[in-house]
Amino acid sequence: MRSMASSASSRGNIAAIVGVGPKLGRSIARKFAHEGYTVAILARDLGRLSRFADEIAREEKAQVFAIRIDCSDSRSIREAFEGVLSLGFVEVLVYNAYQPVSWHPTNFTDIRVEHFEKSLAVSSVGAFHCAQQVVPGMVERGRGTILFTGCSASLSGIAGYSQLCCGKFAMRALSQCLAKEFQPLGVHVAHVIIHGIVGTPRGAIASSSQHRLLVGEQQHQQTRGREGEGLMDPDALAQTYWYLHIQDRSSWTQEIDLHPSNQRYM
């Protein structure tokens, strides 16, 4: 069920990142590993996930565990979190999973009900199940952080994207309900709305072996090009997730909007 990127066993505090792909999820996992957490990364593709775990463990000299999960399947979630909870106390849960949808709008009458239900299952029901796995331990210890990743569809219905919007709307409501119930008990719950397209990390090309010589002006031009395209750097986004986790409890954020700098506000 899981592969260990470090041979040593750990009973330390765990950051569980659900929905880890090559962009935002991986950057969040790397950030928490860099800050000293044992990290559990969860997604459907265990092969790719294991490669990410090996990479992060090597770069950050951290313990990283790859665990397969299908967020549309409650049994899969329970089994996955049996593995996560066996590692130690889950102090941080980041729910970053979503069901991919077409970039092109879909006519409402053409949406198949099973696709609609799958999107709801991943965006909201999966978030519900994952949160239920970790909340008891957080409440018992009087501390913990749960962060949900949302998007523009969390706030406003979009023609042609009803399956995405309904799931994201529900997850936003879940985050608000959990915040009001559990923040008085020491559990910080926040909803991160990403208004934009997440690109690859700025340093990804420069750090790869075939591009070690890409420095100075070339890298500067690459960064400016990314900003001009309106792509959001996942490493920069991951910093926000970390800041939310370490916020003083006297002034917790419940919801935050993140926009690329070149995007106009409506």
For 32-63, what is each residue's pLDDT tens digit? 999 999 999 999 999 999 999 999 999 999 99
What kind and span of H or E run contains 67? strand 64-68
Task: For residue 133, give the nearest of 235, 203, 40 by alpha carbon.
Answer: 40
The confidence band for 203, taking pLDDT boundaries of 50, 70 and 90, is low
Between β-strands 64-68 and 38-43, what pairing exists: parallel, antiparallel or unpaired? parallel
Q: What is the CATH number of domain 14-198+231-258?
A: 3.40.50.720
What is the rounded distance in angstroms from the CA atom of residue 96 to the CA atom of residue 150? 8
**Percent with pLDDT over 70 in the chain:** 84
Distances (CA, A) of 72 to 68, 91, 117, 167: 12, 23, 9, 12
Question: What residue spans define the domains of the chain?
Answer: 14-198+231-258
E strands, 195-266, are 197-198, 231-232, 255-258
The confidence band for 2, taking pLDDT boundaries of 50, 70 and 90, is very low
Predicted structure pTM score: 0.86
What is the rounded distance in angstroms from the CA atom of residue 163 to the CA atom of residue 106? 9
pLDDT score, position 105: 87
**pLDDT tens digit sequence for 145-193:** 999 999 999 999 999 999 899 999 999 999 999 999 999 999 999 999 9
